[in-house]
Amino acid sequence: MERAFIFDMDGVVVDSARAWKIHNDAFLHKTFGKEVFEKLGSVAGLGVIQIWEMAAAHGAAVDKGDFIKKYNYDARNIYSRTPITPGVEYLAQWLTKEGFVLGLVTAANETFANHVLPRLAFRDQLRTIIFLGDRTDIKPKPAPDGYIEALRRLNAEPRQSIILEDSNFGIKAGKASGVYTIGYRGNLVLGYTQEGADAYADSMDDVINIVEKSTPR
């Protein structure tokens, strides 16, 4: 079986976490009101439908279609201006040379992701991409289903594979899939604390060092 390295997108491949935090603090407060906004807490790592469902559960009376339409419009602007994370393209090149097969599992839908993926030098090396925002048949993060499906597609052994995540929802998903999970801290918003990862990296060089120490040769 293969050794897989599976990326998250937001906050890992692309430095979008801070832009999303600024956007969500303003947009969700305005859309749902102060009370619901405060009940939501951090939505880092969640897809647009999950955010709407959580808000509805807290009593927000906002049309789902209108919310998604507005959110999607803003997403195009955010993704078009957020930079690729420094060092991630070298990391992908290094991983490929080390014999890993690459995949990506994102909470975003394909429309969102297509503002990022064509800019990646290693786009063609991604053997599988799962857009959880488009999949009603797969539970979103923090459920492990997306990562389990990626491992299946890659014919990868979980115990020899690695996941790179930034949000706690993503870390929970990675760990629940049975895969060694690295928490990437290089793009975190101020005050966000990661929990539950097997290791933590502040840069992509740190990721390489962790991979070298944690995988069998």
pLDDT class of 194 with cuts at 50, 70, 90: very high
Residue 24 has pLDDT above 90, yes or no: no
Quick: pLDDT tens for 70-96.
Answer: 888 888 888 888 999 999 999 999 999
Residue 207, class by beta-carbon neighbours within 10 Å (0-12 exposed, 13-18 middle, 19+ buried)?
buried
Whole-Å CA distances, 153 to 21, 86, 95, 122, 126: 32, 28, 18, 18, 12
Q: What angle do CA 207, 102, 44 make, to 5 degrees?
A: 65
**3-15+83-214 placed in CATH 3.40.980.10:** no
pLDDT digits (tens, 9 = 90+) for 160-182: 999 999 999 999 999 999 999 99
Mean pLDDT value of segment 116-137:
95
- In the chain, the percentage of residues whose pLDDT exceeds 90 is 70
Q: Residue 180 has what pLDDT?
A: 98
Domain ranges of the chain: 3-15+83-214, 17-81
Q: Measured between alpha carbons, how far is 53 from 55 in angstroms, rounded to an integer?
A: 5
Give this prediction's pTM: 0.87
